[in-house]
Amino acid sequence: MISTKATVVSNAHLSCGIYKLVLSIPDMPEISCGQFAMVSCGNADGILLKRPISIHDFDNKTVTLLYEAAGKGTKALSQMQESVDLDIILPLGQGFEIKNYKRIALVGGGLGVFPLFSVIRQHADVEYSAYLGARDSSHLVCADSFIGRCARVRLATDDGSAGEKTYVTSLFKEDLARYGFDAIFACGPKPMLKALKAITKDTDIPVFVSMEERMGCGFGACLTCTCKTSSGNKRVCADGPVFDINEVIL
C-alpha cells in the first residue's frame, strides 16, 4: 500500500454519468483483484475526504477505475483533465482470492460489475461464468469486456433493453446446478447479495461478496466503515471489502 501521486491519463464519460478514469502511477505497487483505491477529488467545494473506488483493471503502469459521478466528490473528480496529478492511496483492502478454483461464477449488479472485471484480468486460466445486471443497457457499460474472456456471459436488465428482463440472481439460479462452480464472487446492492445468499444457502460452494460502506480514511484507522459480521463489527476497508457471505450480516 502506498500514498502517492497519480497522473490522469484519461477520464472519459462512458454513459449515464459513469466515467472511466485511467491513472498512471510511477511506483506501481502489487495489486490483487477486488482491491480498491482512495482517490482525491481535489478540494473544491469544501471536499476533504478521498473517495473509495474499486479497481476495475490494472497493469504495471496504470490502474483503471470506473465510477459514477453521483455526489459532490465524484462530480469534481469527473472534471479532472488529462495530466492532472491526484493524491491516491492503493491498493487497499482484502480482495478476491482465487485459491485453486477452476470454475468461478461472477455475479455483479450495477456499479458492482466494475471490480469483477479485475478478477478475470488477473487470472485468465480460470473458467468464468459472468452474470451481470443493471437498470438498462446504457448502465451496463463494461459488459462487453467480459464477453470473449468468460465461458458464458448472461445479462439482465430491469427493462429488458439488454439481455433478459429479469434479476441477475434469477439467471444465476438457473445455471447454479448446471455448471458446478467451485466459488462465487459477487458485488452489488444489498438486495442482490441477500438474494444470492438465499439461493446458495443449501450448497457448500464458497461465496465471497464485496461490501460497500461510507468510508473515512480507507486504510483501517478511523473505524467509520464498519459492517456487522458473525464475529462483531469489521472494517469494510481493511478487513474487507471482500467477505465470506456467511460471515457478513446483510
Of residues 5 and 102, the one with the C-beta less far from another protein: 5
* 250 in contact with another protein (CB under 8 A): no
Q: Which of residues 17-76 bind another protein (CB under 8 A)?
A: 45-50, 72-73
For another protein, which residue of 85, 194, 222, 244 counts as binding (CB under 8 A)?
Answer: 222
Binding mask 159-198 for another protein (x = CB under 8 A): ----------------------------------------
Binding mask 75-104 for another protein (x = CB under 8 A): ------------x-x---------------
Backbone angles phi, psi at 132, to 5 degrees: -120, 135
Spatial separation of the C-alpha atoms in residues 137 and 151, rounded to whole Å: 21
Of residues 126 and 237, the one with the C-beta less far from another protein: 237
SS3 labels along 195-227: HHHHHHCCCCCCEEEECCCCCCCCCCCCCCCEE
* 136 in contact with another protein (CB under 8 A): no
CA–CA distances in Å: residue 101 to residues 32, 218, 220: 16, 29, 29
Backbone Cα Rg of the chain: 17
Which residues share a beta bridge with 155? 132
Other C-beta atoms within 10 Å of 101: how many?
A: 18
Report which residue type is found at 111.
L
Cell of 221: 484507522
For another protein, which residue of 197, 226, 247, 250 counts as binding (CB under 8 A)?
Answer: 226
* 4 in contact with another protein (CB under 8 A): no
Question: Site residues (CB under 8 A) for another protein?
Answer: 1, 3, 45-50, 72-73, 87, 89, 213-217, 219-227, 232-233, 238
